[in-house]
Amino acid sequence: MPQVTLTVNGASHTVEVEGRTLLVELLREKLRLTGTHVGCDTSQCGACVVHVNGDSVKSCTLLALQADGAEITTIEGLAKPDGTLHPMQEAFREYHALQCGFCTPGMVMSAIDLVQKHPQGLSEKEIREGLEGNLCRCTGYHNIVKAIAAAQDVMHGRRAELAPAAE
């Protein structure tokens, strides 16, 4: 069987895979990193978004072998070892940016890529457009957009702490 070597959340792994093994299958089934979800499995919903060499991609639409040699970050790789949440995770918590939570890992990974690629800051409209590849079937977009708007100020160092959500 072919082998793939990749770095996931800072740790190197060499794993035997089939030609058809998807990156998301490698993450969930071989590495037991089940924070990355499979929603639609048709490249639409974005529940499976991870970062590959710093870009957000749908891990259900990438062969594990295509990720050979890549640096992968999943939702499990965001918090600090002491449990301190990434500002985007903290913002999702503070702004109650989820209902059932199924889409959340993908939303957070897409949101971080979106914010990192726009150091000049994003308007509400740009945030909504930037989430085109992520579907929330609880239709909880409103708080998700607010969370991302708040998190970007912390991520870009414009605020030391997250702006609290309104009561």
Ligand X SMILES: Cc1cc2nc3c(=O)[nH]c(=O)nc-3n(C[C@H](O)[C@H](O)[C@H](O)COP(=O)(O)OP(=O)(O)OC[C@H]3O[C@@H](n4cnc5c(N)ncnc54)[C@H](O)[C@@H]3O)c2cc1C
Burial class of residue 46 in the structure, from the number of CB atoms within 10 Å of its CB (0-12 exposed, 13-18 middle, 19+ buried):
buried
In contact, 5 and 69? CB cutoff 8 Å: yes
Tell me the C-alpha distance between 67 and 52, whole Å.
8
Tell me the C-alpha distance between 96 and 10, whole Å.
29
Q: Which residues contact 123 (CB under 8 A, 6 or more apart)?
A: none
Tell me the C-alpha distance between 61 and 25, whole Å.
11
Closest to ligand X by CB, 43 vs 84, is 43
Closest to another protein by CB, 66 vs 84, is 66
- Kindly tell me which residue out of 7, 34, 44, 116 binds ligand X, with binding defined by CB under 6 A: 44
Closest to ligand X by CB, 23 vs 33, is 23
Q: Which stretch binds another protein (CB under 8 A): 7-15, 57-65, 138-146, 147-155?
A: 57-65
Q: Give the number of residues in contact with another protein, rule: CB under 8 A.
A: 27
Q: Does 43 bind ligand X (CB under 6 A)?
A: yes
Q: Does 116 bind ligand X (CB under 6 A)?
A: no
Closest to another protein by CB, 5 vs 66, is 66
The mark string for 128-147 relative to another protein (x by CB under 8 A, - otherwise) is --x-xxx-------------
Taking the complex as a whole, how short is the minimal distance between the CB of residue 44 and ligand X, in angstroms? 5
Q: Which of residues 67-106 bind ligand X (CB under 6 A)?
A: none
Find where tokens 């605020």 sit: 159
Query: Could you tell me which residues are beta bridge partners of residue 55?
Result: 52
Tell me the C-alpha distance between 38 and 58, whole Å.
10
CB atoms within 10 A of CB 77: 17
Q: Which stretch binds another protein (CB under 8 A): 39-47, 76-84, 91-99, 145-153?
A: 39-47
Closest to another protein by CB, 2 vs 84, is 2
DSSP, res 84: P
Q: Which residues bind ligand X (CB under 6 A)?
A: 43-44
